[in-house]
Amino acid sequence: MEMSDDIYANAETIRNIKSTSTPDQNPPNSQGKQHSGGRNYRLTAVCLGLLTILLLTVITAIGIYYNGVQNNTMDWIRFHCSCYYVSNEIKTWSESRQYCRARGADLVIINSKEEQMFLSGFQNRWIGLTDDDEEGTWKWVDGTTLITGYWRSGQPDDWYNEDCAAIQKEMSDLYSWNDASCSVAIHWICEKTAPL
């Protein structure tokens, strides 16, 4: 039993030396410190919760915005300072124009050789040009009179009261316009100013 008494005595001596020479690695916390730590954890949890809600709100808003943009843009194609929508369905000239205007656009106005070359790949499409108000005086949908035209050979010919213009390429990319009856249902091209 002497040996076990020595062990207990040695253990007590070691404990006394440890307490005087080095601070305890795990000191008991006071009641105030425990309460303060709990408060910090709760504050951190509330902040993380609020950040999560904010993040989810932002993600949802961005999703709704881009979904709306995508539905409104309907695969618009950008070329220089304009965006173009090339239809997959067919409508009369007036119906096509109404479709474009309902989406913040109008039937395309072709202002340059480059724009004509770009659009000539889309065949049998209404453009925003008509002489419906005055025969032989072709005007764009914005009211300006046509200055430079890209008519096919022999066009416009007003055959059977043809008062609306369409791209109808056969041989030439540059000279592809044809006059057609405005009541014919074909595809169309809308144009609107590209966002900055």
What pLDDT score was predicted for residue 9?
Answer: 55
DSSP state of 147: -
Q: What span, in angstroms and rounded, lies between the C-alpha atoms of 66 and 55?
A: 16
Q: What is the pTM of this model?
A: 0.62
Where is mean pLDDT largest: 1-10, 21-30, 166-175? Answer: 166-175
Give the tokens for residue 45: 């949890």
Cβ 81 vs Cβ 191: under 8 Å: no
Reported as a pLDDT band with limits 50, 70 and 90, residue 146 is very high
CA 61 – CA 131 distance, rounded (Å): 46
How does pLDDT run across 76-100, given as a tens digit for each residue? Answer: 999 999 999 999 999 999 999 999 9
Distances (CA, A) of 122 to 33, 134, 149, 187: 76, 28, 17, 9
Q: What is the pLDDT of residue 71?
A: 47
**pLDDT surpasses 80 at 21:** no
Structure tokens at 38: 């709990």
